[in-house]
């Protein structure tokens, strides 16, 4: 199966690129996703080694802040079982979990590629995250878009 690419949004107040850089093994469990489509991407489609654009969202300067990769297969999101956690789901049980996450590992922190800048490139015009009304925290990235971003915007 071919490698896939993803844009994964994180609020810097929750987990920033700097936080990720300081975590053990520069890895974080991508917890707290409570949208079924985004969950299904993680549970059903993501594979170890898939590329990730680590995106800062819901902040002053939203944009791509780093390059990462998926470093685990999907497994139940532990936050759904913790009654004290804001991501608790009373309908989830350990036997029948509703929410899943994958681990994401940092490969490279980059100078932020702002949402505003992304919109100026015709090569990125069809990117899911740039479409009007898109609110998903995880979106697939076309291999052509991935290559363009890495080659022309990151310089890798």
The CATH number of the domain holding residue 92 is 3.10.590.10
pTM: 0.94
Residue 155 domain-assigned?
no
Report strand pairing: 5-10 vs 51-56: parallel
Which DSSP category does 37 fall into?
H
Inside any domain, residue 125: yes
Please report, in angstroms and rounded to a whole number, the separation of the first and last CA atoms in the chain: 24
Residue among 63, 68, 71 at smallest CA distance from 9: 63
Query: CA-CA distance, 81 to 68, in Å (whole number)?
Result: 27
Give the range of the structural domain holding residue 145, as residue numbers without chain letter: 5-149
The structural domain count of the chain equals 1
In a domain, 154, yes or no: no
Tens-digit pLDDT string for the chain (156 aa): 589 999 999 999 999 999 999 999 999 999 999 999 999 999 999 999 999 999 999 999 999 999 999 999 999 999 999 999 999 999 999 999 999 999 999 999 999 999 999 999 999 999 999 998 888 999 999 999 999 999 998 877
Q: What pairs with residue 52 in β-bridges? A: 6, 68
Residue 156 lies in a domain: no
In a domain, 116, yes or no: yes
């Amino acid at each position: 199966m071919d490698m896939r690419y993803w844009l994964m949004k994180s609020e810097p107040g929750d987990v920033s690129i700097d936080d990720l850089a300081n975590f053990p093994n520069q890895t974080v469990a991508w917890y707290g996703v409570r949208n079924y489509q985004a969950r299904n991407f993680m549970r059903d489609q993501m594979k170890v080694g898939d590329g990730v654009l680590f995106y800062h969202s819901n902040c002053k300067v939203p944009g791509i802040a780093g390059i990462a990769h998926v470093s685990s297969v999907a497994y139940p999101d532990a936050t759904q079982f913790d009654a004290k956690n804001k991501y608790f789901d009373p309908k989830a049980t350990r036997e029948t979990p509703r929410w899943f996450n994958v681990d994401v590992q940092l490969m490279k922190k980059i100078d932020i590629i702002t949402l505003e800048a992304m919109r100026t490139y015709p090569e990125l015009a069809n990117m899911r995250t740039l479409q009007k009304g898109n609110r998903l925290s995880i979106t697939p990235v076309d291999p052509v878009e991935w290559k363009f971003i890495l080659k022309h915007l990151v310089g890798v």
